[in-house]
Amino acid sequence: MTEHWKTLIAIGVGSAIGTIGRYSLNLLTLETGYPFGTIIENLFGSLLLGFLTAWFLVYVPKEWLKAGLGVGLCGGFTTMSTLAADATFLFQTYKPFEAVMYVIGSVLGGILLALVGYFAGSFLAKKIKERNKEVNSA
């Protein structure tokens, strides 16, 4: 099997898992009447993608694994279109303050959590790499 097909299959599997996770989380939070599921998905997805980005700079994976987890899993779990639809719904139901806070919290929170994930992934990956060097040199 070529690398191209491995990558496409990994993206498909990752996106299926991410989408099922997103759908399940939305079902759990649906009765609140507020798009908590979408906020959680996008914020956690940003954190995870930030972590994976930093981790993959230290431990360079096969392309299919990187694409499967990043494009597939994180891409399938997070959702910009639902964020836009939820914000539009809040505006249409005469809740402009909630809509603005929802968008600001989602965007700024996503960027902040991506940075937190990046720094955590970088720290952890470097720490593990150092420990492995110590063990291998002993």
- Mean pLDDT, rounded, for 98-110: 95
- Looking at residue 32, the DSSP 8-state letter turns out to be G
Q: What percent of the chain has pLDDT over 70?
A: 99
CA distance 73 to 45: 9
Count of Cβ atoms closer than 10 Å to residue 24 Cβ: 11
pLDDT category at 8 given cuts 50, 70, 90 is very high
- Mean pLDDT, rounded, for 12-18: 98
Residue 107 has pLDDT above 80, yes or no: yes
pLDDT reported for residue 75: 95
Residue 138 has pLDDT above 80, yes or no: no
pLDDT reported for residue 1: 73
pLDDT category at 21 given cuts 50, 70, 90 is very high
Region for residue 33 given its phi and psi (left: phi exceeds 0; alpha: psi -120 to 50; beta: otherwise): left
pTM over 0.75: yes
> How high is the mean pLDDT of the chain?
94
Count of Cβ atoms closer than 10 Å to residue 68 Cβ: 24
Check: CB of residue 107 under 8 Å from CB of residue 75: no
Is residue 93 annotated as involved in ligand binding?
Answer: no
Query: Where in the chain are the domains?
Result: 3-137
Is residue 78 annotated as involved in ligand binding?
Answer: yes
pLDDT reported for residue 33: 84
